[in-house]
Structure 1
Amino acid sequence: MAASVHAWIIRQLTLGEFSSRRAVLAKAVVMAAKIAVFAYILNILSHFVLVALNLLPYDLWPALVIATVLTPPVSFVVAVIAYSVVGLAIYDLGLSNQRFEMLSRTDMLSGLMNRRAFLEEFERVRGRTCLVLFDIDRFKAINDGLGHKAGDDVIAKVAQVLTTVAPPIAQVSRLGGEEFAVLLPGTTGAEALAVAESMREAVEATVFTGPANPFSVTVSGGIAEGLAELGFSEIFSHVDRALYLAKAAGRNRIVHTNALQDAALGATTAELLPVIANETRRLA
């Protein structure tokens, strides 16, 4: 019996019921009405039990009238107040938990989802998808030459540009440092390359405000196509190699992992550079 009552109470206090303060108050009214009816029935039954045991110290019918007049409204008011207090406390706790969860999934500098959130999103959309990995070119030189404040501003601005250019289906993340990742569910390699090129061009066209003079930055990127049977680490290793080759080929460019096929045959980086250029032109 106690377990059933406990389970019933937990069900009534389900956090999902409290989507807003208005929902809390509406639920409080409904629950208070149930409690008022229950209290009234219990009061009436108690009087009849006392009569049966010859323990009622006053007449039954006047007592029933008083119980009918007083019990429902009093119990209703008390229940509304009590349930509202508890419900609002649960609602506020839920908001705090949501804010904490959001903060735990957000990169504070860029405002993008962090690595943890990105990995969860990757697992959720696992299947036919494309992963794009960007890295800000010569970022260390920016930090060393213009200061870490300028470097932080560059990261924040690049994040804003990538988010603005990204299509609605894209999930943009800062994985750490000057490295960004873009998840493109349900896209082909050619479509992902077009999106990545748009992002690269947008960053290149952006003017950044420096301590003395305006300046510009570029990004290099790698693209890998994912399959359901491939985990994040496997796809990431491919796209990271493509990014490395984009850097080696002169930076400010995008390399698709299709350009890495010759690597399995033992080709050197120098030998792969013409392959990269040809494959990128073909996909475009």
Structure 2
Amino acid sequence: MLPTHGRYAYSAITERADYSWPGEHRLAVYIGLNLEHFAFGQGLGAALAPGGPQPDVLNYAWRDYGNRVGVWRLLTLFESLKLPIALLLNTELYDYCPQVIAAFRQRGDEIVAHGRTNSERQSDLSEAEEAALIAETTQTITQNEGSPPRGWLGPWIAQSPVTPDLLQEAGYSYHLDWCCDDQPIWFKTRAGRILSIPYAQEINDIPAIAVRRASAPEFAQMIIDQFDEMLAQSDRQSLVLGIALHPYLVGQPFRLRHLRRALTHIIERSEQTGKGWITKPGAIAQHIRSLPEGLIP
């Protein structure tokens, strides 16, 4: 037999019991805004163009545009559309640009732990080192926000064989690392279970734009098409649509204009049909935990 992760058993989405989101909505939609910080001259980092030897000024400065400019343009957009946001946060940003985090805190947005920095990947660490990373990240957010984060997205969406165990043991309610479903599912851990909330790998600006080189209009249309098709599919069962964004990509003016079109479409269609629930992953996890036992695979 092939090696397996042992975290969940196979479950066909067509064979599951039905349930609805609060207010009898059918499609839960959340925006995960990745706010990331990178070491200068070393470590990992997304690339706009092939970089030369370190320090890689071109790609470092391109990413830093997201924290200096792009995120503020996005914040204005979210404010104008009255959209709730899940801020997927590298904790190094509390030292680098705390005013950005304060702006989202003032809106009441959810802070989701996203490690210390995206210059590192937790799957490269020993179990003790990974546990220390999770503890440090959790403590930093708790000290700054007054309560611990409920959700986790690993830097580079990386997990070691024991990451779900460590997260559950550290008190996390859910993680976003696995893109294996359109509904939340339970993951087994060595001390209980943790919820897996769907996170986008297709409706995600890094794979779409930085890897496959989708244009701004193409990425916006991907968002619209994904939403429209999932809204239709949600007549049969409630679903989750995550939209993953990075300020250094969609905060660029020519992309922001098309993103505005896509998000406006989602809001208008949600209101017209009464089926869309624009929310945050923590609220999704809270609702799932309120459902009868055995309903969620």
> Is TM more than 0.5 here?
no
Greater C-alpha Rg: 1
Decide which structure has greater helix share: 1
Where relative contact order (Cα < 8 A, 6+ residues apart) is larger, the structure is: 2
Scaled by the length of structure 2, the TM-score of the pair is 0.21
Scaled by the length of structure 1, the TM-score of the pair is 0.21
